[in-house]
């Protein structure tokens, strides 16, 4: 059975924190791969005027291009609509019955698990993997594998703000992602 990690999110834009989480969890749990899976329409966040789903997918592909064990999945973008984890996992389990899925979430999402769509059914389909994030508690009654990773206080919001204010993003995002953002004129740059 193949062990597949999934790191979902808006990736608006993807940054070094995303890559760190995916890589650290892959190695800590001996996963065969971790899929970065951009959402089509995120259920928890809406950021009008930001990158399109296709642009976010392209940025994720650029970010993961040279990292062993990281791949990008267009599954939710191609499906379209609001991306509920339950729906995604249910479909993936049907399409890939021989894979064992590990859904990676940060401490902020651990705190919100009771509010997730069909959470009681979802926990029966996958392994939740939690990683700490600065400023979050990361406590839940739901079954979760906690992985201790180096933490950096970095967010896509900060990256977008840096672009809008003409600040530096060097070492915060991969150079190929920065070049793409500048070419596309995203985030007010």
**CB 139 within 8 Å of CB 164:** no
**Closest residue by Cα to residue 38 from 69, 60, 21, 20:** 60
pTM above 0.85, yes or no: yes
Q: What is the pLDDT of residues 142-162, one digit of tens each?
A: 999 999 999 888 999 999 999
pLDDT at 3: 98
Where do we find the tokens 């596309």? Answer: 184
Residue 96 resides in a domain: yes
**Closest residue by Cα to residue 116 from 82, 149, 81:** 82
Residue 125 resides in a domain: yes
Residue 26 resides in a domain: yes
Q: Give me the CATH number covering residue 86.
A: 3.40.50.620
Residue 186 resides in a domain: no
Residue 172 resides in a domain: no
**CB 181 within 8 Å of CB 67:** no
| Domain range enclosing 103 | 2-151
Q: Give the neighbor-by-neighbor strand order of the sheet with 99-106.
A: 70-72, 33-38, 2-9, 99-106, 127-131, 145-147
Q: What is the pLDDT of residues 55-113, one digit of tens each?
A: 999 999 999 999 999 999 999 999 998 888 999 999 999 999 999 999 999 888 888 89
Domain count, the chain: 1
Residue 166 resides in a domain: no
% residues pLDDT > 70 (the chain): 95
3-state secondary structure of 114: helix
Residue 174 resides in a domain: no
pLDDT at 43 over 80: no
Residue 115 resides in a domain: yes
pLDDT at 166: 95
């Amino acid at each position: 059975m193949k062990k597949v990690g999934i790191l979902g999110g808006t990736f608006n834009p993807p940054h070094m924190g995303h890559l760190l989480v995916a890589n650290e969890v892959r190695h800590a749990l001996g996963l065969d791969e971790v899929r970065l899976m951009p959402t089509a329409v995120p259920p928890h966040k809406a950021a009008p005027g930001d990158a399109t789903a296709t642009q976010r997918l392209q940025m994720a592909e650029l970010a993961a291009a040279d990292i062993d064990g990281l791949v990008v999945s267009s599954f939710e973008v191609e499906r379209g609509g609001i991306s509920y984890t339950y729906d995604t996992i249910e479909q993936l389990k049907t399409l890939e019955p021989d894979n064992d899925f590990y859904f990676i979430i940060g401490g902020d999402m651990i705190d919100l698990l009771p509010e997730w769509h069909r959470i009681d059914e979802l926990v029966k389909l996958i392994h939740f993997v939690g990683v700490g994030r600065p400023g979050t508690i990361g406590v839940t009654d739901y079954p979760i594998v906690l992985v201790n990773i180096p933490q950096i206080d970095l967010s896509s919001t900060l990256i977008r703000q840096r672009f809008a204010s003409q600040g530096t993003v060097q070492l915060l995002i991969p150079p190929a992602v920065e070049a793409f953002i500048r070419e596309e004129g995203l985030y007010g740059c």
